[in-house]
Amino acid sequence: MISSIKYYFQLLKFRLSLTVVISATAGYLIGVENFDYLELVLLTLGGFLVTGSANGFNQILEKDYDKLMLRTMHRPLPQKKLTTLNAIIFSFVIGVLGLYLLSMIKPHGSFYGFLSKSSAFGLLSLMIYVLSYTPLKRMSTVSIFIGAIPGAIPVLLGWVAATDDFGLAVGLLFAIQFLWQFPHFISISWIRDNEYKKAGFKMMYGEEKGRYPAAIALITSILMTVVSVLPFFLELNFINLSVVSFILILVLGIWFTFNSYKLFKTPDDSIAKKLMISSLVYLPFMQLIYVMDKWIIIWFL
């Protein structure tokens, strides 16, 4: 019984699902004016379950290809630790439960009679990830672009859960996370290029490691850095970056961009690994600065 629980946790990719929830929580804390613990709990649990469901269906669809890659061959489905039917039932149930929890956040602004705006974005993210991104990975590198959309939705979902509204501010937060994913995924694809090709996944722009994918990583890093500091110059609802936060976010973005530049200058596996690590550092720290900038000002006023 205990071992089965472990395999279900592996199916929903616990750590990855948790990082997605962190982005949604950041979006909520940046946008919220009247903090509501129940909303945050619903967002956290609902977002985690929907993300876990998407990860589960992803592994179900890719179970035959996961056998071919060292990184994924030990997952529960290739190892036959779980049956496909059990994985489908589990992924479906947690997905429905997650959407239900999200639908309880500001339900008065409902879409289509039963979906709140939060659950609508959760469903959209799940569908794009499972029905578009997953099959496209074996067809075209456009999958990276498509995959960046559900990858950036969590911060949007968190913001909508807090404000029940849209606007330029959340558009910028969405754009930052959308652009961040290109150098992030390019660095991962670079490091695991042989494994992906062995399994038939087309995850490298230009099909080969070199200046072309490195240039895309560099350009998107520059754009991401520019967008990340725009709230300092604009009058936006809920976001007004202080000078200190502006400097910290700018320095963080320049550091990340410099690592992308180094990959462009020297297309090498070791440089790609450094870029991947820097991408994992950049996003949570950038979001933390945004959150602290807002809440420190609130605490001191």
Over residues 52-104, the pLDDT tens digits come to 899 889 888 888 877 777 777 788 888 888 888 988 999 999 999 999 898 88
Cβ atoms 188, 217 nearer than 8 A: no
Say yes or no to pLDDT of 109 above 60.
Answer: no
CA 52 to chain centre: 12
Hey, what are 231's tokens?
């709230």
Task: Quickly list H helices, the chain.
Answer: 2-11, 14-31, 37-61, 63-66, 84-103, 117-127, 134-136, 142-163, 168-191, 193-199, 211-229, 243-265, 269-300
Amino acid identity of residue 53, one-letter, is S
Residue of 92, 88, 64 lying closest to 78 (CA atoms)? 64
DSSP string, 228-257: HHGGGTS--SS----HHHHHHHHHHHHHHH
Mean pLDDT of 196-217: 78
Residue 113 burial (CB count, 10 A): 5
The residue among 197 and 274 whose pLDDT is bigger is 274
CA-to-CA distance for 181 and 204, rounded, in angstroms? 13
Question: Hey, where are the domains in the chain?
Answer: 1-164, 167-301
Percent with pLDDT over 90 in the chain: 36
pLDDT at 198: 76
Torsion, Cα 212 185 224 143, to 10 degrees, reads 80
- Residue by residue, DSSP assigns 99-125 as HHHHHTSSGGG-BTTTB-HHHHHHHHH
At 255 the pLDDT is: 97
Task: Quote the distance between the C-alpha of residue 181 and its chain's center.
Answer: 8
Model confidence at 199: pLDDT above 60: yes
- Domain 1-164 of CATH type 1.10.1040.10: no
pLDDT in tens, 126-164: 899 888 888 888 887 788 888 889 889 899 988 888 887
Q: What is the pLDDT of residue 66?
A: 74
Query: What one-character DSSP code corresponds to residue 63?
Result: H
Give the pLDDT band of residue 113 (cuts 50, 70, 90): very low
Q: What confidence score (pLDDT) does residue 248 get?
A: 95
pLDDT at 62: 81
pLDDT of residue 178: 95
Rounded to the nearest 10 degrees, how much is the dihedral formed by the CA atoms of 138, 142, 143, 147? 180
Q: Which residue has the tokens 């690994």?
A: 273
pLDDT of 40: 87
Which tens digits make up the pLDDT trace of 228-286?
999 999 877 778 888 999 999 999 999 999 999 999 999 888 999 999 999 999 999 99
Whether the model pTM is above 0.75: yes
Pair 193, 62: CB distance under 8 Å: no
Q: Which residue has the higher pLDDT, 222 or 14?
A: 222
Question: What is the chain's Cα-based Rg?
Answer: 19
pLDDT grade for 49, boundaries at 50, 70 and 90: very high
In Å, how far from its chain's centre is CA 295? 23
- State the residue for tokens 């652009």: 179
